[in-house]
Structure 1
Amino acid sequence: MTYSAVDQDFEAARAAAPAARNVRAMRAVRIWLFTVAALVFAMVVVGGATRLTGSGLSITEWKPVTGALPPLTEQAWNVEFDKYKQIPQYELVNKGMTLGEFKEIYWWEWSHRQLGRSIGLVFGLGFVAFLLSGALRGRLALTVAGLGVLGGLQGAIGWIMVASGLKPGMTAVAPVKLMLHLTTASLIFAGLVAVASGLGRREREATTPGVRRFASAMLALVLVQIALGGLVAGAKAGLTFNTWPLMDGHFVPPLSALFLQAPWFENLVDNPMTVQFNHRVVAYAVVALALAQAWAARRSQPGSPVCRRASAIAGLGLAQAGLGVLTLLEMVPLPLGLAHQAFAMLVLGMSAVHWRLTRA
């Protein structure tokens, strides 16, 4: 090999080095974003456990920093217990509970808040590190920063939700605020997985406008269904009308029952029959749309990644619908309730990835 040939190889390697560094940087950012998404997923599941065990009001103060330490002495535990005894939930629901029973609900809420702090720490340190290294820049940096701002807002929404349950006469949080809290968490999760899944892709997938429209509609409808699920949880509507496919003997309940309260729009939040019926109807729509998307993808792009993802979403949607029916029939036991919430996030995550990759 001549000197000039060696020199040419060296120049080519030097030119390729920045591209290789960029690939490694994007891989690291992708791993970081998926890690944060996994923590958000865990937080949603633990939040579901907090709700199902009635633990969400056990910590009556918002201390983002000092609250990271739980009570460490028996005296400190009694102080926290005395604070809990001052709220309506204790007087109306849990009066007479022991300190040991209080600790059980306290640990659920503390774990939920601790996960929130962990998410903030992992996100914040990673964002600063990748920003300083140059891995995050331009539109990507702004998008990720926006998700961070939404995460910070989520902490405030969580406290506003808890505070709604501390008011006189309240024994649980307000359904609308629970819905807002869950929906915001879902938006953050979907955003994280969508951004992460689009990083480092070398080739753009060939997709049709129809495929892209299906992907957008699927993602939007899943988010709507999760929001309605938050209302079902807030109104405890899953503990009523525990039959399927009929509700109180009807496939479609009479309007007089669905719109029992006045003004009519309050039924959308406070009427357990209306809240659960809406959740059922949109569940049918999610399954129908998922199957239609899989069929359309199979017809237009058989055997492609698009087709495989659409089929996976359809399978997850059917499994989630079946799990929802079982959860309803069994009156929402803790394991089934958590599985139903976790599967909802899986359907959402897969829909977000599919939506992003049809636009990559």
Structure 2
Amino acid sequence: MPPRVAGNRRAIRLWLYVIAAMVMALVVVGGATRLTESGLSITEWKPIHGVIPPLSDAEWQEEFDLYRQIPQYQQINRGMALSEFKTIYWWEWSHRFLARSVGLAFALPLLFFWLTGRIEPWLKPRLVGLLALGGLQGGIGWWMVASGLVERTEVSQYRLAVHLTMACLILTATLWIARGLVARPTAPAPTDRSWLVGLLIVAMVLVQIYLGGLVAGLDAGLSYNTWPLMDGQVVPANLLAMSPAWRNFFENPMTVQFVHRLGAYALLAVTIVHAVAAQRMGPGSRHARGATWLALAVVAQAAIGITTLLLHVPIDAALTHQAGALAVLAGAVFHARGLFGRYRVPATI
């Protein structure tokens, strides 16, 4: 590979890793916004003007008056002082400001790399696709907030889970592209089908994160705070109390938490079996080490999840659990991408 191409790839890879770190921070701040019930404090979507927070008492009062018109204030927070409103406002503003910052941190360097000829032709549609996903995510974020402004006192758990999962899909795509730009010897995978297991694990982590979004949206973690039994049983009753039955998997807090638990058990089992198989097929290999570290990360994440549940979801434990999910996802993406080897494309621009 020509040195110029290698240097360009290195620069783009490091830039994408910065973007990935910013996305992870954005998701954690979003989790704090949800846990502090701050997400509905800003009732208007102002992509440009909204970057400037209230700067005077009159502007603060205007924002507060808008908030007092929605059901969350009228049914839950009636009588809230302006100082209390400012606390939840700053959480939501910080989340939106960080989202805008991610957009700028992606778009401006992309433009620079593009105009200076540093992006290879095959890479351009991938990066443009990431930019489009970011724009779509902004729309999904407002779609989510809008669900809690008229009839509900909080956002829809359906939309919350979609918003969270889309953020994780953006993170997955960003890390996948960046990891493929690493200049390293291509080590053979343990088997011809190892990549399938790698992709399966990534998919399982994403599904588990989606289920976690439903749990958060329904506040399902605030009930049934025992483990390993749930409501005193291995399989609790009333899992299908709602009709039609499919609603239970999205709207019944008991069912949603139970399915989230099952997803964790399944992910734990698959990663442990994969690690053991990888060690047997190639002891000490890069792929075997990656599989082992990934399994250990899932074990740690399961322990954090159980602790969070038993402690009745304190905010510090809950955010640690959310950050752990992102770390597991990143590890799964790195591991799966490594099973494919490097991009096999012409080393020219």
TM-score (norm 1): 0.93
C-alpha separation between the residues in 1 aligned to 2:95 and 2:8?
31
C-alpha separation between the residues in 1 aligned to 2:104 and 2:115?
17
Q: What are the ranges of 5 or more consecutive residues in structure 1 without an aligned counterpart?
A: 1-17
Q: Quick one: which of 7, 15, 19 aligns to 2:2?
A: 19
State the one-letter code of the partner of 2:174. Answer: L
- Aligned to 1:295, what secondary structure does the other structure show? helix
Q: What's the counterpart of residue 175 of structure 2? A: 193
Contact 1:211 1:296 (C-alpha < 8 Å) held by counterparts:
no
State the one-letter code of the partner of 1:295. Answer: V
C-alpha separation between the residues in 2 aligned to 1:82 and 1:238?
32
State the one-letter code of the partner of 1:351. Answer: A
Question: Aligned residues: percent identity?
Answer: 51
Q: 1:42 and 2:25 equivalent?
A: yes
Deviation, 1:90, is: 0.3
Q: What's the counterpart of residue 84 of structure 1? A: 67
Deviation, 1:139, is: 2.4
State the one-letter code of the partner of 1:116. Answer: A
Q: What's the counterpart of residue 337 of structure 1? A: 318
Render the CA deviation track for 1:175-198: whole Å, top value 9, x for unaligned.
000000000000000111111111
C-alpha separation between the residues in 2 aligned to 1:190 and 1:301?
27
Q: Which moved more, 1:245-254 or 1:283-292?
A: 245-254
Render the CA deviation track for 1:76-122: whole Å, top value 9, x for unaligned.
10100000000000011111111110000000000000011000001
Q: What's the counterpart of residue 175 of structure 1? A: 157
Q: Quick one: which of 192, 195, 198 aligns to 1:212?
A: 195
C-alpha separation between the residues in 2 aligned to 1:223 and 1:141?
26
Q: What's the counterpart of residue 283 of structure 2? A: 302
C-alpha separation between the residues in 2 aligned to 1:252 and 1:320?
22
Render the CA deviation track for 1:197-240: whole Å, top value 9, x for unaligned.
11032421210224212211110100000000000000110011
Q: What's the counterpart of residue 276 of structure 1? A: 257
Q: 1:287 and 2:268 equivalent?
A: yes
C-alpha separation between the residues in 1 aligned to 2:122 and 2:68?
49
Q: 1:110 and 2:110 equivalent?
A: no
Deviation, 1:23, is: 1.1
Contact 1:211 1:293 (C-alpha < 8 Å) held by counterparts:
no
Q: Quick one: which of 133, 142, 149 aligns to 1:166?
A: 149
Q: What's the counterpart of residue 359 of structure 1? A: 340
State the one-letter code of the partner of 2:215. Answer: V
Q: What's the counterpart of residue 328 of structure 2? A: 347
Deviation, 1:144, is: 1.6
C-alpha separation between the residues in 2 aligned to 1:348 and 1:99?
39
Number of equivalent positions: 340
C-alpha separation between the residues in 1 aligned to 2:182 and 2:113?
15
Q: Quick one: which of 113, 118, 130 aligns to 1:135?
A: 118
CA-based RMSD? 1.0
Q: What's the counterpart of residue 68 of structure 1? A: 51
C-alpha separation between the residues in 2 aligned to 1:346 and 1:139?
28
Q: Quick one: which of 321, 324, 328 aligns to 2:309?
A: 328
Q: Quick one: which of 238, 244, 251 aligns to 1:263?
A: 244
**Higher helix content, 1 or 2:** 1
C-alpha separation between the residues in 2 aligned to 1:124 and 1:137?
17
C-alpha separation between the residues in 2 aligned to 1:188 and 1:200?
19
- Aligned to 2:79, what secondary structure does the other structure show? coil
Q: 1:33 and 2:16 equivalent?
A: yes
Q: What are the ranges of 5 or more consecutive residues in structure 2 without an aligned counterpart?
A: 342-349
State the one-letter code of the partner of 2:301. Answer: Q
C-alpha separation between the residues in 2 aligned to 1:200 and 1:327?
36
Render the CA deviation track for 1:271-317: whole Å, top value 9, x for unaligned.
00000000000000011111011111101111111111111111110
Q: 1:314 and 2:295 equivalent?
A: yes
TM-score (norm 2): 0.96
C-alpha separation between the residues in 1 aligned to 2:91 and 2:158?
22
Q: What's the counterpart of residue 9 of structure 1? A: none
State the one-letter code of the partner of 1:157. Answer: I
C-alpha separation between the residues in 1 aligned to 2:150 and 2:311?
31
Render the CA deviation track for 1:43-66: whole Å, top value 9, x for unaligned.
000000000000000000000110
C-alpha separation between the residues in 1 aligned to 2:50 and 2:118?
33
C-alpha separation between the residues in 2 aligned to 1:236 and 1:55?
14
Q: Quick one: which of 82, 94, 99 aligns to 1:99?
A: 82
- Aligned to 1:86, what secondary structure does the other structure show? coil
Runs of 4+ in 1 over 6 A off after TM superposition: none
Deviation, 1:164, is: 0.2
